Amino acid sequence: GAGVSQSPRYKVAKRGQDVALRCDPISGHVSLFWYQQALGQGPEFLTYFQNEAQLDKSGLPSDRFFAERPEGSVSTLKIQRTQQEDSAVYLCASSLRQEYGNTIYFGEGSWLTVV
């Protein structure tokens, strides 16, 4: 696939359940980002990886949120003990290199609904 791939596309979780969202970036892309987008709003930054190193996790809203990219390719965003306020679209994005002018390409998102 040529683009950023995310799964599942849709997830309904019961409050308190743990969820895991997967991101497969464009092959060879060094940088990987996770964003959270609430309905009708702009994406909000969660965390950033350069290869396998998590260099910025300043946007993670609580310690219930955890992300990893162990081999510098696929990444997983895990949310423990989900709450209703976690309902949002989770967008993964990647860029070829870490330079600031590099274009960031987004996946189609994982839609999480917590009931």
Partner 1 sequence: AQSVAQPEDQVNVAEGNPLTVKCTYSVSGNPYLFWYVQYPNRGLQFLLKYITGDNLVKGSYGFEAEFNKSQTSFHLKKPSALVSDSALYFCAVRDGEYTGRRALTFGSGTRLQVQP
Cα torsion 98, 111, 1, 105 to 10°: value is -30
Question: What is the closest distance, in whole angstroms, from the C-beta atom of residue 55 to partner 1 in the complex?
Answer: 7
Q: Determine the interface stretch with partner 1 among 15-23, 37-45, 61-69, 75-83 (rule: CB under 8 A).
A: 37-45
Residue 1 lies near partner 1 (rule: CB under 8 A):
no
Residue 96 lies near partner 1 (rule: CB under 8 A):
no
- Among 18, 44, 52, 85, which residue sits at the site for partner 1 (rule: CB under 8 A)? 44
- Interacting residues toward partner 1 by CB under 8 A: 4, 6, 31, 33, 40-45, 48, 50, 55-56, 59, 91, 93, 98, 100-101, 103-109, 111
